[in-house]
Structure 1
Amino acid sequence: MEYIIICLAALLGSGLTLFSGFGLGTLLVPVFGLFFPIEIAIILTAIVHFLNNLFKLFLLGKSANLNVVLRFGIPAILFAFLGAYILSLLTDMQPLMDYQMGNHIFEIMPIKLTIGILLLFFSLFEVVPSLANIQFDKKYLPLGGILSGFFGGLSGNQGALRAAFLIRANLSKQSFIATGVVIACLVDISRLTIYSKEIINHSDHFDYTLLTLATLSAFIGAYFGNKLLEKVTIKTIQNLVTVMLILFAILLIMGII
């Protein structure tokens, strides 16, 4: 049963999140977590996420905007390390509050609350008519990388902030997705470098058949998502990103993810 659930989540998640540029990891961690300890679930998700990004790079990489990759991606990677380091110093950080729904207790953490508010702010650029046509000047790309990397290192939720900036960077739909994929690959490499010791320590507990099938399922989802890309407009992608940003922000603020 776990094979079907995990592979289906990887297939659908990869296809749907191809357009938004974020969300696959958020979806896969709790699904893997149904069948594995959370530390194993995080590592397995990181591996599938990275391999799937490499496949998307093969499909779309030629459309990436190198200038945006350099100006956004390099600050993102550097500040991701800084954010991760600061997180290691904040291991005793306390939640602002907690609450219970059913049998689950959810905690509202300061970092995730901050990111949620930032994402809601960026969502205003799509839902408020007077802001809808505003584009971020290229000079602000390093700032976007700094924010994305730093808060991503603190919480692991880097993709949403990256998408919030790139969707307003006046890129074509192919370039928006491809540029995000290249940056995501660079971030995944840095993240897997940090995880490398844990990967080695837990390698005996991996189900390699399941890992392979989940990765292949993600490939299939990305392949068909890429085929569908030809039929959608940049406005459709902007609307999808906005909806996902708002949903993602609400779930962060509520402490659900």
Structure 2
Amino acid sequence: MNFRDISYIFLLLAMLAEILGTIGGFGSSVFFVPIANFYFDFQSVLGLTAIYHLSSNVSKIVLFKKGIDKRLLFNIGIPSVIFVIIGGFLTKYVNSQYLEIILGVFLVGFSLLFLIKKNLIIKPNNKNAITGGILSGFSAGLLGTGGAIRGLTMAAFNLEKSVFIATSAFIDFLIDFTRTFVYFQNGYIHKHDIIYLPFLIVIGFVGTMIGKRILTYIPQDKFKKISLTLILIIGIVTVLPKLMNWG
């Protein structure tokens, strides 16, 4: 593969995914994975997403590092890392289409719940944090994206936006660092896809910077609503094509 074979439309969409992921606070994979599925096989998407996300999350950690919540980092991060390994190994044996439908329904249902019941807040206790970490880590390993579940969990905690983004990015970094080794072991990181990585690394940094600049114009009270609305859209986009294909 050479540079003439590169899809620049895909790279442009990847940039948009990074900007939206930064604004929403849950990372670009929730948008990047569905986009990449139009251009690559599912295994290549998993491998590219893990490596691309490493650079994306490093940039978020650098730009938002003052906001990291160490308690949430511990309670969500550790179970996420454990279950991303489990999910990553299960990709060899599980039909992902059924799981994507379940994920989409879950995201639509819970995002609507918190959008409708605006005063509903889940307490940021250990039980809720650990449960969110388990679900997001397992989903990230199995489907390539778990940021929406983690974003939904953290949005429910009603966190200040810099704390939300910094903590989410650090957890995401731990997840991506771990699953990169799992996917490599599974043979998902292919030589013919490597040509995209330099572009995606640059996009990860530039998209994060653009997203951060846009965030300065978004009031804190609007941030949670935007995050939940984006998650709702992700859920609909995830589940609708699968249901239409069944029909």
Normalising by the smaller structure, the TM-score range is: 0.7 to 0.9
Distance 1:137 1:37 in 2: 38
**Aligned 8 A contact 1:125 1:134 in 2:** no
- SS of the equivalent of 1:213 reads helix
Residue type at the aligned position of 1:70: F
TM-score, L = length of structure 1: 0.79
Look up the match of 2:162: 174
Task: Give aligned-pair identity as a percent.
Answer: 27
Distance 1:201 1:241 in 2: 31
Q: Deviations over 1:81-133 (max 9, x none)?
A: 2333444443xx5x9xxxxxxxxxxxx61x2232223222321343223x534
Q: Deviations over 1:212-254 (max 9, x none)?
A: 1232133112112112222212232211222122122223323
Distance 2:105 2:190 in 1: 36
Distance 1:225 1:201 in 2: 28
* Counterparts of residues 130-209 of structure 1 (less than 5 Å): 131-139=118-126, 140-197=128-185, 202-203=190-191, 205-208=192-195
CA RMSD of aligned residues (A): 2.8
TM-score, L = length of structure 2: 0.82
Distance 2:46 2:188 in 1: 14
Question: Which of 201, 209, 224 is the equivalent residue of 1:238?
Answer: 224
Change in Cα spacing, 1:141 to 1:11, as seen in structure 2 (3 Å) is same
Count of residues in correspondence between the two structures = 238
1:222 aligns with 2:208: yes
Distance 2:21 2:229 in 1: 12
Distance 1:71 1:223 in 2: 28
Distance 1:256 1:26 in 2: 16
Q: Deviations over 1:40-87 (max 9, x none)?
A: 344233322221111111111231101101011111111222333444
Residue type at the aligned position of 1:161: I
1:46 aligns with 2:33: no
- SS of the equivalent of 1:17 reads helix
Distance 1:248 1:86 in 2: 23
Residue type at the aligned position of 1:61: K
Which consecutive unaligned segments of at least 5 residues does structure 2 have?
Answer: none
1:60 aligns with 2:64: yes
Change in Cα spacing, 1:134 to 1:125, as seen in structure 2 (3 Å) is farther
